[in-house]
């Protein structure tokens, strides 16, 4: 039935002279998303619009699913196109289309014909009238409503005839790649993949860093993070995932600093390391899944303490959300089931029974001095031995 | 030292000969035993031979061997199959608190279908008191299921005595034994021991995964739980897994060939290993350790260390062990066996299972102890408070 998709995009339409940059980025992201679908597709721009034409057999649901994960798309219109034909034949095509696509005929509709091909024998007004009449005759339960129709039946007459009437909502946002790149601190939890998703939605490309602490965290915990990154990469495009061996730093902190400040000091080193990789890889900001007050290390005092080590902006899109709101998004983007697998991550291993909730920066800094004799070396080793995994969802797996 | 594999209760390395026969069948004698032509008949020959080898080993009839996909399916078949066939005589089933989940979960399923389940307690060595069983048997008891060897601590159950008590009270009560951990370590003769059904898995005895059998005494009334083309006298439909069955038979004949010798060696190794483990500070051994325990399982608790961390630290040194029971380790819940034998709360999460095989050498165990001595002080320095 359908052999093409008209891609609707919102915000990027208004970006003035930069518009072509946004459109090209969107087309690239669409091509990336379609790589995992069966079939051949042509993604092209025509008369200020983006079309995805199927050039072979394809699975409709699979393609819609892939497209609905491309940021920048606000709507996906499945399009039927036929070769130019005379108005009588066109009537038949339209009736056939309405019959198949709209099972429920108790609807109002409006004909919307656009004639770009000016030599076509009838003009758009005439076509509106004659095609509308044909629909009314064939399906008596359908009524015309020109102000708020349930179905806007669009027919565009160009070098071919395009027919569409349904819009499947897209995810909105901006095409990834139009807003630089940022470094996501990815743990195995629920929040950080959601944070990555939300920033990617604003057109930001993602890299990620994961802190691995063998033998305290297992290979399975690391695999879980790779799996999460892969799910996020469905939306964000390929992710460079940097794995840092954090064990020695964590043990040094554990041995030399007060236990109730362990998590804060640990977080500060994580931010430092993440920023250091970010600066090396052209990332312009850091992303975390923090939400005010969710745990001791995320009180506003704690956040102020961890934030202090960074010069790059830190984006925390979950900051004002309740846990349930974050869970809702993680369920929507399919990371929830993976996030709740029971493997320990490095944040949960050495948690003190009563961690500080109102850390004082001054005190923390004084206690960090205990690490002076070893920490630079440890951080350097951690950075030198980082492992980088390229995670991408374009292959079927 | 190269890798040291001490997780043989989870699974074992297959014998070379097992892999060879399986490859031959997969690539050459790949016929379906149900086919009418010669290819099918050739394949059927492997099934017949396998049955003969296993029946000879158990001193039973060839018709009493049902091939299954392994221990879990055998346990399911034994419980559900007999419950469905005998529910008119009663709906009471007795088992123990330390069974494998393949029994415990199946029993819970039967409970949801209206059966009543009694779980016998065990002493602090993980052994059932036969007198408790005597007291638990009722008018409407149809089945007793007791494992031969516990998978987590290696305790042995008084199977022969239990068989005697059951048959003394009422011969019609069926006796099922989950021998997944005991088969290949002991000579188990079902008829002599009053066993009506017995579950065995091949990959615990250096055979392939995905295959096992259920011994079913000729007199047992049992219904299938898998339906289809009517293979194996309709009791277990589905094309027989010929390569795996032949591989299993090969493993059975090999493991029983010099059994006594192997087992003596394993007991000696175990004794030596336990002695060396106990030299380390803060180590407790769970269950019996001598000849009244399984030769291949050693359960040790390490005070002040989390089992998962110790496991990964050992893994880093290429020593492979389990925390609690491998089959249960993918769930965060603590082991029911360890709880049932009264392991202290603080140690439940600090327990490692070492399990040996015929391939285990003393130097591997000594090396493991050396590595433990190296790791434990470091790990204990960094415990969660």
Does B219 lie in the same domain as B303?
no
Does B85 lie in the same domain as B224?
yes
pTM of the model: 0.81
Q: Tell me, what CATH number does B311's domain have?
A: 3.90.1150.10
Does B167 lie in the same domain as B55?
yes
Does B217 lie in the same domain as B264?
no
Alpha-carbon distance values, B362 to B313, B357, B359, B367 (Å): 21, 12, 10, 9
Q: Tell me, what CATH number does B80's domain have?
A: 3.40.640.10
Does B283 lie in the same domain as B243?
no
Tally A–B CB contacts below 8 A.
Answer: 30
Q: Is B27 helix (H, G, I), strand (E, B) or coil?
A: helix
Q: Is B298 helix (H, G, I), strand (E, B) or coil?
A: strand
Does B117 lie in the same domain as B63?
yes
Residue where a domain stops, chosen among B235, B257, B279: B257
**What ipTM was predicted for this assembly?**
0.72
Does B264 lie in the same domain as B305?
yes
The answer to whether the Cα torsion of B25, B31, B32, B37 is positive or negative is: negative
Closest CA to A338 of A349, A346, A329, A330: A330
Does B217 lie in the same domain as B139?
yes
**Domains in chain A, start-ordered, CATH in brackets?**
4-169 (3.30.2130.30), 181-391 (3.40.50.620)
Query: Does the pLDDT value for residue B374 go beyond 50?
Result: yes
Does B286 lie in the same domain as B244?
no
Residue where a domain stops, chosen among B224, B257, B290: B257
- pLDDT of amino acid B337: 84
Does B89 lie in the same domain as B216?
yes
pLDDT band at B328 (very low <50, low <70, confident <90, very high): very low
Of B309, B314, B385, Cβ closest to residue A216 = B309
The 10s digit of each residue's pLDDT in B84-124 is 999 999 999 999 999 999 999 999 999 999 999 999 999 99
Of B331, B381, B385, Cβ closest to residue A353 = B385
In percent, how much of chain B has pLDDT > 90? 88
10-residue mean pLDDT series, chain A (397 residues): 88 72 92 92 87 92 94 94 90 93 92 90 91 93 93 90 92 92 95 97 96 89 94 94 95 91 94 97 96 91 94 97 96 93 67 84 93 95 96 68
Residues B6/B368, Cβ–Cβ less than 8 Å: yes
Which residues in chain B are closer than 8 Å to A214, comparing Cβ atoms?
Answer: 312, 316
What is the chain B residue with the closest CA to A251?
A: B382
Closest CA to A185 of A89, A295, A318, A52: A318
Q: Which residues of B belong to the active site? A: 327
Residue where a domain stops, chosen among B257, B276, B307: B257
Does B370 lie in the same domain as B252?
no
- pLDDT of amino acid A46: 80
Domain that holds residue B130: 16-257
The 10s digit of each residue's pLDDT in B146-179 is 999 999 999 999 999 999 999 999 999 999 999 9
- pLDDT of amino acid B233: 94
pLDDT band at B358 (very low <50, low <70, confident <90, very high): very high
The 10s digit of each residue's pLDDT in A71-130 is 999 999 999 988 999 989 999 999 999 999 998 989 999 999 999 888 888 989 999 999
- pLDDT of amino acid A397: 45
- pLDDT of amino acid B333: 55
The 10s digit of each residue's pLDDT in B22-53 is 999 999 999 999 999 999 999 999 999 999 99
Domains: count for chain B: 2
Binding-site residues on chain B for chain A (CB distance < 8 A): 308-316, 331-332, 381-382, 384-385
Where helices occur in chain B by DSSP H, the ranges are: 16-27, 38-58, 71-76, 82-86, 101-112, 130-136, 159-169, 190-193, 242-257, 259-278, 307-316, 336-340, 345-348, 362-381
- pLDDT of amino acid A349: 63
- pLDDT of amino acid A348: 61
Does B250 lie in the same domain as B125?
yes
Region B59-77: what's the mean pLDDT? 97
Q: Report helix angle A262-280 to A300-307, nearest 10.
A: 40
CB contact under 8 A, A342 and B313: no
The 10s digit of each residue's pLDDT in A288-331 is 999 999 988 899 999 999 999 999 999 999 999 999 999 999 99
């Amino acid at each position: 039935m359908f052999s093409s998709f008209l891609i609707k995009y919102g915000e990027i339409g208004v970006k003035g002279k930069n518009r072509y940059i946004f459109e090209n980025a969107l087309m690239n992201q669409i091509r990336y998303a379609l790589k995992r679908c069966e079939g051949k597709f042509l993604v092209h721009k025509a008369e200020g619009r983006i079309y995805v034409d199927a050039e072979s057999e394809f699975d409709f649901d699979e393609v819609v699913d892939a497209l609905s994960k491309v940021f920048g798309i606000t709507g996906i219109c499945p399009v039927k196109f036929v070769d130019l034909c005379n108005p009588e034949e066109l009537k038949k095509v339209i009736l056939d289309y309405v019959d198949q696509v709209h099972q429920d005929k108790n609807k109002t509709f409006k004909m919307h014909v656009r004639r770009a091909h000016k030599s076509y024998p009838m003009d758009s007004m005439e076509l509106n009238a004659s095609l509308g009449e044909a629909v009314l005759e064939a399906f008596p339960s359908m009524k015309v409503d020109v102000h708020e129709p349930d179905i806007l039946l669009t027919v565009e007459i160009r070098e071919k005839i395009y027919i569409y009437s349904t819009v499947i909502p897209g995810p909105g946002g901006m095409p990834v790649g139009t807003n630089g790149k940022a470094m996501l601190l990815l743990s195995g939890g629920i929040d950080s993949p959601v944070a990555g998703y939300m920033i990617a939605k604003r057109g930001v490309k993602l890299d990620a860093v994961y802190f691995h602490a063998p033998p305290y965290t297992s290979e399975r915990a690391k695999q879980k993070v790779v799996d999460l990154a892969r799910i996020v990469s469905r939306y964000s495009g390929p992710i460079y995932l940097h794995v840092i061996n954090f064990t020695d730093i964590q043990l040094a902190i554990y041995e030399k600093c007060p236990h109730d400040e362990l998590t804060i000091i640990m977080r500060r080193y994580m931010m430092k390391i993440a920023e250091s990789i970010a600066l090396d890889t052209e990332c312009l900001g850091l992303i975390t899944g923090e939400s005010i007050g969710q745990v001791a290390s995320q009180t506003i005092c704690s956040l102020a303490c961890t934030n202090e080590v960074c010069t790059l902006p830190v984006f925390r899109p979950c900051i004002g959300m309740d846990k349930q709101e974050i869970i809702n998004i993680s369920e929507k983007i399919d990371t929830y089931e993976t996030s709740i697998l029971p493997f320990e991550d490095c944040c949960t291993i050495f948690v003190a029974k009563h961690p500080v909730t109102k850390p004082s920066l001054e005190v923390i800094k004084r206690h960090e001095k205990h690490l002076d004799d070893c920490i630079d070396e440890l951080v350097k080793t951690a950075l030198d031995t980082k492992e980088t995994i390229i995670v991408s969802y374009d292959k079927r797996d | 030292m190269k890798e040291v594999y001490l997780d043989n209760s989870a699974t074992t390395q297959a014998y070379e000969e097992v892999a060879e026969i399986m490859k031959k069948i997969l690539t050459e004698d790949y016929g379906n035993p149900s086919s009418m032509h010669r290819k099918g008949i050739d394949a059927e020959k492997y099934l017949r031979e396998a049955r003969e080898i296993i029946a000879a080993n158990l001193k039973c009839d060839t018709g009493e061997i049902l091939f299954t996909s392994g221990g879990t399916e055998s346990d399911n078949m034994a419980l559900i199959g007999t419950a469905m066939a005998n529910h008119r005589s009663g709906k009471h089933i007795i088992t123990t608190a330390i069974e494998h989940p393949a029994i415990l979960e199946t029993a819970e399923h039967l409970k949801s279908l209206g059966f009543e389940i009694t779980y016998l307690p065990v002493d602090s060595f993980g052994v059932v008191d036969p007198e408790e069983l005597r007291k638990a048997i009722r008018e409407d008891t149809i089945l007793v299921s007791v494992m031969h060897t516990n998978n987590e601590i290696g305790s042995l159950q008084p199977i022969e005595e239990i068989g005697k008590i059951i048959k003394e009270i009422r011969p019609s009560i069926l006796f099922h034994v989950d021998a997944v951990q005991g088969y290949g370590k002991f000579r188990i003769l079902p008829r002599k021991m009053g066993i009506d059904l017995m579950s065995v898995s091949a990959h615990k005895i250096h055979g392939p995964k995905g295959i096992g059998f259920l011994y079913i005494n000729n007199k047992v009334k049992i219904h299938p739980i898998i339906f289809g083309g009517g293979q194996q006298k309709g009791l277990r439909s589905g094309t027989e897994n010929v390569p795996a069955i032949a591989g299993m038979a090969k493993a059975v004949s090999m493991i029983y060939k010099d059994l006594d010798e192997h087992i003596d060696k394993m007991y000696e190794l175990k004794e030596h290993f336990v002695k060396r483990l106990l030299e380390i500070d803060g180590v407790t051994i769970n269950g019996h350790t001598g000849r009244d325990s399984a030769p291949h399982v050693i359960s040790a608790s390490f005070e002040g260390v989390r089992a998962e961390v110790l496991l990964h630290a050992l893994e880093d040194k290429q020593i492979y062990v389990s925390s609690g029971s491998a089959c249960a380790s993918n769930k965060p819940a603590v082991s029911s066996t360890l709880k049932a034998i009264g392991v202290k709360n603080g140690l439940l999460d600090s327990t490692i299972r070492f399990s040996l095989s015929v391939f285990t050498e003393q130097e591997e165990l000594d090396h493991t102890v050396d590595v433990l001595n190296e790791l434990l002080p470091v790990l204990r320095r960094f415990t969660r408070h």
